[in-house]
Amino acid sequence: MNSFASRIIRWQQRHGRHALPWQDTRDPYRIWLSEIMLQQTQVATVIPYFERFVARFPDLAALAAAHEDEVLALWSGLGYYSRARNLHATARRLAAERDGLFPDSPDAIAQLPGIGRSTAAAIAALAFGQPCAILDGNVKRVLARHGGIAGWPGDKKVEAALWQLAESRLPRAAIEPYTQGMMDLGALVCTRSQPACTNCPVAADCVARECGRTAELPTPRPKKALPDRQVQMLMLLDRGELMLEKRPAQGIWGGLWSLPELAPGTDPIRHCRERFGFVALERQELPRFVHSFTHFRLHIRPVRLHLAPRAATPPGQIWLPLADALDAALPAPIRKLVNQLDCP
C-alpha cells in the first residue's frame, strides 16, 4: 500500500484547498499572519480579517511601524487579542533585530512571541520547506482516528503520542502539500461530526473506521462547569460623544478600548460622580446579556448615563462620537452595545 504521506499529498493536490488568500506564496509574513489568525478560529471567519489586515499592513515593516491601537482595531471581533499584541511585538522585534527578516528554522520561529511548536512548524514547512510535523486541532483529529489514539489530546501523554506519530509520518519530499493536506483533510473530510470516511485517502487503514470508533476519537475535552462573573458597564454620554477607557495590557480584552466597569450592586450615578467627577442627568438600564469566554461566562449589565457637560476628561479615557467609537479597537460585545446607541 502507498505510504500515508503520499496518499495525503495526492489527495491534497486533487481535492485540497488551493484558493485561500494566504496560499500560493512562500512569503513568511503572510503565512505567519494566517497561522496566527487561524489559531482557535475557523477559516471562513479569518478570510475577511486577513484580507483587511494585509491591505493595511502589506508587509512586516508596515506592521512594525503601526500603532498598537490600529492593529487591535483591525483585529476587533476576531477574539483572543493577545494574538494581535504578540503579532505586533514580533514584527517590531524582527524589524529591530533582524532587519525584518523572518527566521527559517522551527526552533528559532518558536522563540518569537505567541508562536508555539505547531505554529512554528507550519510556518517553517510552508514558507521555507522545512520537514516539520504540525499538530493543530485538525491534524490531531486525523492522527487520533487513523492511529487509534484514545484520550483527550490536551493531556500531555496523549499529545506526546500524537507528536511521535506526526513526526513518524513525514514525507521525504513535498512537505508543503503534505502539511496543507493534513490541515485540509481534518477541515473538509475528517470532521468532528459526521466525517466523510468514503472520501478519505487514508480510510483503508484507519483504526477508528475499522473499529467503528470515529464518533469517540479523539476523546473530547473533559466537561467542566464554567463559573459566572457579574459586571456593570457604564455607557457615559455627553453631547453625542461616548467615553471609552483603555483596558490593561494583561487580562481579557487586553489593550482594547472598552466601557468603564463597576461591581454589581454599586450605584452607577454615585460611582460616576466619585470616580470621574461627572453629574448624571438621566439613567437608563439596558437589557442584560451574557458573553462567554473559554474559562468563564461574563454577565453584563449595561447602564446608560446622560451627563451634564463635563469639565475635564480623566487620564486613560477618551471621548469619541459614536461613529468614531465604532472605528476604535473595541471588544466584539462592546461594539454591539455601541452600535445600538443613538445619541442626539
- The overall longest dimension of the chain from CA atoms, in Å, is 79
| Active site amino acids | 35
Three-state SS for 186-254 is HHHCCCCCCCCHHHCCCHHHCHHHHHCCCCCCCCCCCCCCCCEEEEEEEEEEECCEEEEEECCCCCCCC
Name the amino acid, one letter, at 260: P
- CA–CA separation, 188 vs 49, rounded Å? 21
The 3-state DSSP class for residue 24 equals coil
Name the amino acid, one letter, at 243: M
Q: 175-188 and 137-147 are packed helices; what angle lies between their axes, rounded to 10 degrees?
A: 80
Closest CA to 37 of 1, 69, 71, 3: 71
For residue 185, what is its C-alpha cell?
A: 483533510
Name the amino acid, one letter, at 97: E
- CA–CA separation, 325 vs 318, rounded Å? 10
* CB-CB neighbours of 155 under 10 Å: 13
* CB-CB neighbours of 307 under 10 Å: 19
- CA–CA separation, 140 vs 218, rounded Å? 8
- 85 HSE (CA, 13 A, CB side): 14
